[in-house]
Structure 1
Amino acid sequence: MRIARWMTAAAAAVSVLAATPAFASAHGGPGTASRPILSPAEAAPFTPGNYLGFSGPYAAPVADPWRPQPIVTRHRDFVVGGRGFSTVQAAVNAAFKAGGSTRRSIAILPGTYPGTVFIPAGSPPLTIYGVGRPADVRLEFTVDATLTPAAWAALVNPDGRYAEGDPAWEMFRSCATRTSTNAGLCATVVWSQSTDLQLKGLTITNTLLDTVDRGTHQALALRTDADRTQLEDMRLISRQDTFLANANDVARIARVFVRDSYIEGDTDFVFGRASAVFTRTRFHLVSTRKDSGGVIFAPNTDPSYPYGFLVVRSRITADEGYRAAPTGRLGRAWDQGAGTTGYLPGVTPNGQLVIRDSTLGAGFAAATPWAPAATTARPFAARVDAGRDLNDIYFNRLFEYANRGPSAAG
């Protein structure tokens, strides 16, 4: 479905997208084919309210404003650490079994908690938070997507934390019985399929880190699949694919809101299909495993939907290695599923991202901050003509507006 048909479904709520853009303003626009810049009129629709304002199927989105409030951590229905549960998974299982529609809180005391955590669909609304500083409440595990499904299953379940009949059993079984040659996106420390999840004050690290070469080693810290996922004061650390903001149902919108957090990696380390807003968040590109050509964002937005990732009032930084040799990339589209067909306009996902009102530190390729697409290597190309359609399926949808700092557009 093209954007015009989507607008018919969403009607006046996003009619501003049809407005004629203003070019050559003091704030930029249109930029170049390799570094497109939005004009003020073009940037107007790209607000948290629009990215978080719709739910339901892409074919017929429903106006459903979601305005996340600061996460409240006063309650402790379940406690992990001390005299409470010894694992986070055990507390999640208990919350699931408690059931109901009332929000439940899981408080995690300072410490390091090894192993994976799977939060199944059907859980009550959950708030999982750390007590104290995020750096002192650590969820850690070492898992690499290159493992076979059988090896993955043996690695993540040596203590039987996933057993038939347990709430997360089906999540575990879906990965353990994969017919693919590798574990793929099951290689994550924390994985949620639960709607209305809140995470606050935690450090989640896939500790594979620099123990492998610079090749393809997907190693997720956090994967979220469901609608209305909220992160606050989080630290997510890995190298490739640190945070997957996903939509488990590829036909339906899933929304994610991230505030006051830190995300670190070296390859596509913020990626996925969700409609996600990141505010007051730092994204840090590191060179310790891969010393050139690192990429931060890799959205795989539905081609019919105008809202993928929005980064606003945030910081994008790189370490000393990239600052000395600025080859970092802000992002690229993820042409998921098109490895054999190539990019198919209107069929293949076409990643959408706007970085606005943010600080871009040194270390990034100024003339070419957007890399060719993942999976297909489709060259990056944006429209720069007057009256351009920002959702043209034949062009990329990665844009900037009103940024500052050493790597911002001149």
Structure 2
Amino acid sequence: MRLPLLPLATAVTIAATAATAVPAVAATGPSPTVIVVTADGSGDHTTVQAAVDAVPSGNTSPVTILVREGTYKQQVVIPADKPYISLVGATRDPRRVVLTFDLSASTPKPDGSGNYGTSGSASYVISAPDFTARNLTFENSYDEAANGASQAVAVRTTGDRQVYDNVRFIGNQDTLYANTASATTFARQYFRDCYVEGDVDFIFGRATAVFDGCVIKALTRGSTTNNGYVIAPSTEIANPYGFLIHRSRLVSDAPDRTYHLGRPWPAGGSVTARGQAVFRESWIGRHVKDAPWSDMSGLSWRDARLAEYRNVGPGAGVNDDRPQLTAEQAAEFTPRKYLAGTDGWNPLRHHHGGHGR
């Protein structure tokens, strides 16, 4: 499952500026590379993309891109041939480092070749494997109220073994596109202590994604009946693991019983997509409907793989429209099982001691 790396023709080292505090390391290895991004020009680069561009293709060692406080408005691509990047806000408060852009799917391209489309609207496209983001905000600032509803992606992820820690994802429709490089590839993404907000299908895609201890906020669209859908997994049937919402909080400013937990998305008209998702041991607010699942594009939610387990809160419930896992089944749908893959990847151990997770 590991993505092939391009050969590194020459060893390239990017020296951090003298002003950067680089922790001392043992003499057994090279110093970690730190690239500093500051809007005022006092760092190595003024934009995140310039810092990414400075990382060599086929990169083989850890690189930290440290982003100082501020708002950085730019569309950014972190390509698949640049693994081992950590994109880190310079403060523990993710609201103080904002990475933003404002395209939507319906925004016309300047060259007249059509609109950007959902994938093209992403403020950040993160295709690299072994990527980490910490302590920052990804945003799509497209003004839905002023310009009309449209897909407007904050982040589109396609890389394997990605970790997002204390990160905020801000948007309306299609905020977080947790995806894979193709319908036949897998990609695992771990979201820990994150915050995601949006309205329609605002966590969607084909990836194997675990949301652990997150806050997921469903925004009102002013409807008294249907304000949106939290998730829209497009998991291929060959993949047993799609989305896991684990020990998280589902909150909202929408009226009671006006939100769906989700609907299964047959991405690109796929006839083999059967969205897989479990909400487990989470707190669910009163915005969620008693019949919380919905069909999508001709695919019945009952033909997908959608379930709950031991949720609590005013929006939680058990009825014929809310399939529940048994305890035995639930043992197969833990964060560790979702993320292990064939290589035994376990990003949980640093944070949770892996107690049966």
Q: TM-score, normalised by structure 2?
A: 0.75
Mapped to 1, the partners of 2:67 and 2:119 lie a distance apart of: 26
Q: What is the percentage of aligned positions where both structures have the same residue?
A: 34
* C-alpha distance in structure 1 between counterparts of 2:202 and 2:293, whole Å: 14
State yes or no: 1:90 paired with 2:24: no
Counting helix residues as a fraction of each chain, which structure ranks higher? 1
CA RMSD of aligned residues (A): 2.2
Q: Which position in structure 1 is the counterpart of 2:181?
A: 248
Q: For 2:299, which of 366, 378, 381 is the aligned residue?
A: 378
Q: 1:181 offset after TM fit, Å?
A: 5.2
1:91–1:181: structure 2 CA closer, same or farther, 3 Å change rule?
closer
Q: Secondary structure at the match of 1:408?
A: coil
Tell me the equivalent position of 1:128.
87
Find the aligned partners of 2:66 and 2:222 in 1 and give their Cα distance.
34
The CA deviation string for residues 242-281 of structure 1, in whole angstroms up to 9 with x for no partner, is 0011101221111111000000000000011111111001
Shift of 1:205: 1.1
**Structure 1 portions without partners, runs of 5+:** 1-54, 58-72, 155-178, 339-343, 382-394
- The answer on whether the counterparts of 1:337 and 1:348 sit within 8 Å (CA) in structure 2 is no
State whether residues 221 and 227 of structure 2, in contact with CA within 8 Å, keep that contact through their aligned partners in structure 1. Answer: no
- The amino acid across from 1:330 in the alignment is L
**Which residue in the other structure is 1:111 paired with?**
70
Partner of 1:191: 125
Secondary structure of 1:405's match?
coil
Shift, 1:348, TM fit: 2.9
Deviation at 1:56, TM superposition (A): 6.9
| Aligned twin of 2:236 | 302
The aligned runs of 1:20-39 (5 Å cut-off) are: none
Deviation at 1:209, TM superposition (A): 3.8
**Counterpart residue type for residue 295 of structure 1:** Y
Are the aligned partners of 2:202 and 2:230 in contact in 1 as well (CA < 8 Å)? yes
2:162 is the counterpart of 1:229: yes
1:293 positional shift? 3.2
Structure 1 residue 78 and structure 2 residue 12: aligned? no
* Corresponding residue for residue 307 of structure 2: 399
- 2:106 paired residue number: 146
Structure 2 match to 1:28: none
Question: 1:283 matched to which residue of 2?
Answer: 216
Amino acid at match of 1:407: G
1:328 has 2:236 as partner? no
Where does residue 284 of structure 2 map in the other structure? 360
Structure 1 partner of 2:14: none
Contact 1:210 1:288 in 2 (8 A): no
Equivalent position amino acid for 1:378 in 2:
L
Q: CA offset at residue 76 of structure 1?
A: 6.0
With over 3 angstroms needed to count, the CA separation of the structure-2 counterparts of 1:140 and 1:56, relative to structure 1, is: closer
Q: Is the 8 A contact 1:185 1:218 kept in 2?
A: no
Check 1:56–1:126 CA distance in 2 against 1; reply closer, same or farther (3 A cut).
Answer: closer
TM-aligned CA deviation for residue 212 of structure 1: 4.1
| Residues 137 and 76 of structure 1: CA distance in aligned 2, closer, same or farther (over 3 Å) | farther
Output the amino acid matched with 1:225: T
Give how far 1:147 is off: 2.4
**2:201 maps to which residue?**
268
Which structure carries more relative contact order (alpha carbon 8 Å, separation 6+)?
A: 1
Instruction: Tell me the amino acid that sits aligned with residue 87 of structure 1.
Output: T
Q: Is the 8 A contact 1:266 1:290 kept in 2?
A: no
Equivalent pair of 2:133/2:167 in contact (CA under 8 Å): yes
Separation of aligned partners in 2, 1:350 and 1:212: 35
Gaps of 5+ in 2: 4-21, 24-31, 319-357
Partners of 2:184 and 2:68 lie apart in 1 by: 38
Three-state SS of the structure 2 residue aligned to 1:201 is: strand
Measured at CA, do residues 264 and 214 of structure 1 come closer, stay the same or move farther in structure 2, by a change above 3 Å? same
Match of 2:250 in 1: 316
- The aligned counterpart of 1:211 is 145
Q: 1:80 to 1:313 in 2, by over 3 A?
A: same
Q: Deviations over 1:6-55 (max 9, x none)?
A: xxxxxxxxxxxxxxxxxxxxxxxxxxxxxxxxxxxxxxxxxxxxxxxxx4
Deviation (angstroms), 1:327: 1.2
Secondary structure of 1:205's aligned partner: strand
